[in-house]
Amino acid sequence: MIRIGREMSVYLAKSVLAATLVVWLVLLGFDLITAFYNSFSDIGKNGFTLNYALLSTLLTAPRRAYDLFPIVAIIGLLMGLGQLASKSELIAMASVGVSRLHIALGALLPALLLSGLMIISNESIGIASEKQAQTMNTYRSNKFTLARFSGVWAKDGDWYFNARSGSAKGSGDDTWLELVDVKLYQIAKDGGLTSITHAKTAINKGESWRLRNVQRTLFKPESVQIKQYDEMPWKTQITNESLEATLSNPRNLSLGELRSNIDYLERNQLDARVFTTAYWGRWFYPLKVLVLCLAVLPFAFGSLRSGGFGKSLFIGIVVGISAVLLERLFVNLSEVYRFDVRIAYLLAPVAVFSLCWGYLAKRI
């Protein structure tokens, strides 16, 4: 009997996996076509061609597949089991002694395996290809805007750093970052301004910063001193990676990069919630997929027998959209009321799970 249960679990897993891959292919295809269409407005500007638009869209496919998977897993599970239920195969399995536990394990196995694959893929291929896509979209000017109005701001100990703009120099492996109109503000422990250092450019080459065309203003108790330097070193823990993280969407950073930037911001007593939200979202990703699949699983043993494809598709879409909206709601509430974002990520799937099982209990 145990052997039969295992064989049935494998059969169920194959059915659900096939349905999930079909749903995934369809939804991802629609998403990529929409993104490709939206890029048409940039074609012809500064040498941005149709080929670049197509390639940059395809490079975002791993990230889009990662984002879509929770909804895909729900719809795929319901469709796979719904097809079996419509043919009375689930009833046949139960009649030969296959427990609902074996059926549930077989149905959930593809979601567990694919969610693990998505995590690995996103941390390796997905983030790298997304960064490459962004590079292609901005390659034509080789310049980046650090911020729309006041540039980028960073903090390192008692130093506050601001740069108006910057550009990547060199080519290939010999590249470095050059910032323009750099200002360094040194603040004393009592909150007083100790010095202001203004440099026309700052260059990070060979893992060390150099300031050029520098004017440094020192504020003494009874005087102000102004000194000029052609060039001077700048010792700081601010790196190209930390500046890139400041400019990048946190979802395009790896777990290691997110953790590094959270530590940097917390060390300097700055708000790290943007990075913390993205960081814990990655850790709760497999739990979210598992709980949502468990939430819709009871419907496969009941109403899907009579509803078929249309009903399974409708239930999957409703549960998936509800989960996404509730997650955004609870995460936004955590930012407003300043409670732990991990609680927010846990509340959304648990709420959907409770609603689904509560609905089923009323029907029974």
Tell me: the pLDDT tens digits for 144-195?
444 434 567 777 778 888 887 666 665 555 667 778 888 899 888 888 889 9
Tokens coding 246: 């400041």
pLDDT > 70 fraction of the chain, expressed in percent and rounded: 76
Q: What is the signed CA dihedral for 329, 330, 333, 334, rounded to 10 degrees?
A: -150
pTM (2 decimals)? 0.68
**pLDDT-derived band of residue 135, with 50, 70 and 90 as boundaries?**
low
Mean pLDDT of 28-36: 93
Contacts 24+ apart (CB under 8 A), 217-226: 218/194, 219/192, 219/193, 219/194, 219/195
Fold topology of 158-236: lipopolysaccharide transport protein A fold (2.60.450)
Res. 110: pLDDT tops 80 = yes
Separation of alpha carbons 244 and 211, rounded Å: 19
- Residue 345 is predicted with a pLDDT of 93
| CATH 2.60.450.10-classified regions of the chain | 158-236
- Residue 43 is predicted with a pLDDT of 78
Mean pLDDT of 259-287: 84
Residue with the bigger pLDDT between 131 and 69: it is 69
**pLDDT-derived band of residue 47, with 50, 70 and 90 as boundaries?**
low
The helix (run of H) or strand (run of E) holding residue 212 is strand 209-219
CB 35 within 8 A of CB 133: no
